[in-house]
Amino acid sequence: MTTTQPPAPAPPTDQDSFISRRLRTAGILVVLGLVVEGLSLLWNHPLSFVIFLGMGGLFLFLGIVIYLTALVSPGRS
């Protein structure tokens, strides 16, 4: 009985590293936004809502936008 091995994966290209870098940046921004929002929930002050919405929402928004543009953009040529 002979077993065949699957073909070796192709080496990563420049475009693969560009997309993975963009996705990593988006993930970091989303996690940072969630951390800021979580910490602002623990703070009992009127400015905590401003930080929750302003900083946390901004980080989340930027992370989502970078993620979506990384998925639909053609990347570097």
Looking at the whole model, is its pTM more than 0.85? Answer: no
- The answer to whether residue 50 scores a pLDDT higher than 70 is yes
Tokens of 1: 């009985």
**Average pLDDT over the chain, rounded to an integer:** 87
User: What is the SS3 assignment for 9-66?
Assistant: CCCCCHHHHHHHHHHHHHHHHHHHHHHHHHHHHHCCCCHHHHHHHHHHHHHHHHHHHH
Q: At 27, is the pLDDT very low, low, confident or very high (cuts 50, 70, 90)?
A: very high
Q: At 15, is the pLDDT very low, low, confident or very high (cuts 50, 70, 90)?
A: low
- Going from N- to C-terminal start, the domains of the chain cover 26-72
Phi-psi region of 32 (alpha: psi -120 to 50; beta: other; left: phi over 0): alpha
